[in-house]
Amino acid sequence: MPFATAKDGTEIYFKDWGSGQPVVFSHGWPLIADAWDPQLKLMVDNGFRGVAHDRRGGGRSGQPWDGNELDTYADDLAAVIEALDLRDVVLVGHSTGGGEVTRYMGRHGTGRVAKAVLLGAIPPLMLKTEANPEGLPIEVFDGIREGVLTDRSQYYKDLSAPFYGANRDGSTVSHGTRDEFWLWSMTVGIKGAYDCIKAFSETDLTEDLKKIDVPTLIVHGDDDQIVPIVAAGDKSSQLVKGAVYKIYPGAPHGLSMVPEFAGQFNADLLEFARG
């Protein structure tokens, strides 16, 4: 299998499909690269090169004890990009992956980046603080930690409902989609999954967003029950200079995998990448 080697020797698995301008995808917590398969195929079918990696701690990547935080996630992404010598990249990040690509640009610059897409992304800060009253209280994240530690299998099954909006009246999310979420999540080691909760909730990405100097598309569902739009998309769109902000009415957090919203996102992604 193809791997890039991180600074600490951790092996980072990646998919590398097709040829053309590279579109590099970073997935959300607690998933793996497979969550992007429909979009990878879409982009390759339309003349792009699709790349997606499993974040350290899960899937086919190594599961080290350390490094489960956004600086190292960004460096791991850089290792993949540099191993493949990718340039003119369209970076796409969902949820925690949106934080990962934002920290990548803040930490490594945009010399290899042409455009960026932030989907239901965690920036600038998910945690409620005095300066960020729109965020979620620490007790929410403590509850996630407890779920992962005590019965992560059942926790992930339960989490799939708000993730995809399956707990809303009229939802068409299938049992298969929710089972897929559980399957991917269970490939993530408990240490990586646990540590990542602090990474995605407590990392302030405000200054990283301000450093983004490439065309950026920000997409957020206004019924996102995982990453509230008022603390994320609304704020990020004001911090990234010239960002295009698209709000999907009624869309959940995992909108790219929900039939009634995936088509719209795929069309917006393809149009933005081509533009």
Per-residue pLDDT of 117-176, as tens digits, reads 999 999 999 999 999 999 999 999 999 999 999 999 999 999 999 999 999 999 999 999
For residue range 223-236, list pLDDT tens digits in order: 999 999 999 999 99
Q: Is 80 exceeded by the pLDDT of residue 1? A: no
CA distance 261 to 263: 6
User: From CA 144, how far away is CA 137, in angstroms rounded?
Assistant: 12
Q: Are 201 and 189 in contact (CB under 8 A)?
A: no
State the average pLDDT over residues 97-107.
98
What domains can be seen in the chain, in order of their start residue?
3-274 (3.40.50.1820)
Q: First CA to last CA across the chain, in angstroms?
A: 33
pLDDT, residue 174, reads 97
In this predicted model, what pLDDT tens digit does every residue of 161-215 receive, in sequence order?
999 999 999 999 999 999 999 999 999 999 999 999 999 999 999 999 999 999 9
pLDDT at 60: 98
Do the beta carbons of residue 100 and residue 25 sit within 8 Å?
A: no
What is the pLDDT, as a whole number, of residue 11? 98
Q: What is the pLDDT of residue 194?
A: 98
Q: What's the pTM?
A: 0.98
From CA 81, how far away is CA 54, in angstroms rounded? 13
Q: What are phi and psi of 126, to 5 degrees?
A: -85, -30
Alpha carbons 65 and 215: distance in angstroms, whole number: 36
Catalytic residues: 95, 224, 253
In angstroms, rounded to a whole number, what is the distance separating the alpha carbons of residues 186 and 123? 25
What angle do helix axes 138-164 and 190-202 make, rounded to 10 degrees? 110
What is the predicted pLDDT for the residue at 146? Answer: 98
pLDDT > 70: what percent of the chain?
Answer: 100
Burial 53-64 (b: 16+ CB within 10 A, else e): bbbbbbbbbbbb
Q: What is the pLDDT of residue 233?
A: 98
Give the residue from 163, 209, 175, 208 showing the smallest Cα distance to 27. 163
How many CB atoms lie under 10 A from the CB of residue 238? 13
Backbone torsions φ then ψ of 94, nearest 5 degrees: -110, 130
Q: Are 205 and 232 spatial neighbours (Cβ–Cβ below 8 Å)? A: no
pLDDT at 15: 98
